[in-house]
Structure 1
Amino acid sequence: MPKKSADEWFTEYAVCHQNATNKTLHWICIPLIVLSLIGLLWGVALPGTASMNSPYWNWGMLLIVISLLFYLRLSLMLAAGMLLVSAAAVGVLVAYQRTGLGPVWVASLVVFVVAWIGQFIGHKIEGKKPAFFEDIQYLLIGPIWLLAFIYRRLGIRY
């Protein structure tokens, strides 16, 4: 079976994202969900890496790598953009860790729950179920759907 192109994914994803309020909530909530999901996994070291004494060998980084491989299959330019987004997310998490305000996972859990509530409110307003109810891969499509919109506005081909 041939793989879907990025635009095919975006067309299907857009069906559940027509309402202006839902779209606005997605612009706020999707980046927060991405950041908080990485943050939730950030403190969990990968098996066998404890002796490496590096804060970067964790499940959050593995999630980033797996996501980037998925994006790379769709578009080099979208993957490059998501690499920058991922680097920014890591920067935010490292900066938060350095503040000493509390564990990253606690702040991430709060943000994750609030952002998902926002997503579901948006879909309630839209009157349609979230796309990932049909295909779990749509959880990976949401962030690049937003990025592709930015690219189109800037005239960047992907």
Structure 2
Amino acid sequence: MEATVQRKIDRYFASYSDDHRDPLNQRIHLVAVPAILWSVVALVWCVPSFGTWTRTGIWAALAMFGAWSFYNRLSRRLGLGMLAFFFFCGCVCRLVEIRLGLNALLAGAATVFVVAWIAQFIGHHHEGRRPSFLTDLVYLLIGPAWVMAKAYRRLGWKY
């Protein structure tokens, strides 16, 4: 009998998928998880650094680097996709900050955060399963990677 070695990322995805079997809940997650990730980046973007509001984004860049490092250790290919998404998030944050101001970015991020989490809990209520992060907080990071992996599979890419 041949033993198969399962990667850590695959074990995380198997467990996460077990809590997200319902098609409606999955569709909600495909929209809400990236929205939550962007909103967290944007909220952290608004944290002042060095006592001023003029140097924004530093804390968000550090947080994105930390999260990217986690993803990259689990899967280099998935890490590249997450890096691209983080770059997109940073660009959107900077664009909103320049065009509308930091207060608008903060208000928009807070609104997206609340609405997306409400959607998540509606999806889990519909499915009748608890969110994975209530079992282990690491699943707050696994959710975005799970969505990215779904996109990879749809494109026929390996992660």
Question: TM-score normalised to the size of structure 2?
Answer: 0.88
* Structure-to-structure mapping, 1:71-150, within 5 angstroms: 71-100=71-100, 102-150=103-151
1:69 is matched with 69
- Show structure 2 runs of 5+ residues with no match: 1-5
2:11 is matched with 8
**AA at the equivalent of 1:98:** I
Question: Quick one: distance in 2 between partners of 1:83 and 1:54?
Answer: 22
Percentage of pairs with the same residue = 36
**1:56 Cα deviation (Å)?**
3.2
**AA at the equivalent of 1:55:** T
Question: Quick one: distance in 2 between partners of 1:38 and 1:4?
Answer: 28
Is this contact kept in 1: 2:48–2:55, CA < 8 A?
Answer: no
**1:153 Cα deviation (Å)?**
2.0
More divergent stretch after superposition (97-106 vs 36-45): 97-106
User: SS of 1:17's equivalent?
Assistant: coil
Is this contact kept in 2: 1:123–1:129, CA < 8 A?
Answer: yes
**AA at the equivalent of 1:7:** D
More divergent stretch after superposition (103-112 vs 92-101): 92-101
**1:21 Cα deviation (Å)?**
0.8
Please say if 1:45 is aligned against 2:76: no
Matched residues, number: 152
**AA at the equivalent of 1:9:** Y
Question: Quick one: distance in 2 between partners of 1:32 and 1:100?
Answer: 19
Which of the numbers 16, 32, 36 marks the counterpart of 2:35? 32
- Runs (4 or more) in structure 1 with deviation over 6 Å come to none
Question: Quick one: distance in 2 between partners of 1:15 and 1:9?
Answer: 10
**AA at the equivalent of 2:100:** G
Is this contact kept in 2: 1:41–1:105, CA < 8 A?
Answer: no
- Show structure 1 runs of 5+ residues with no match: none
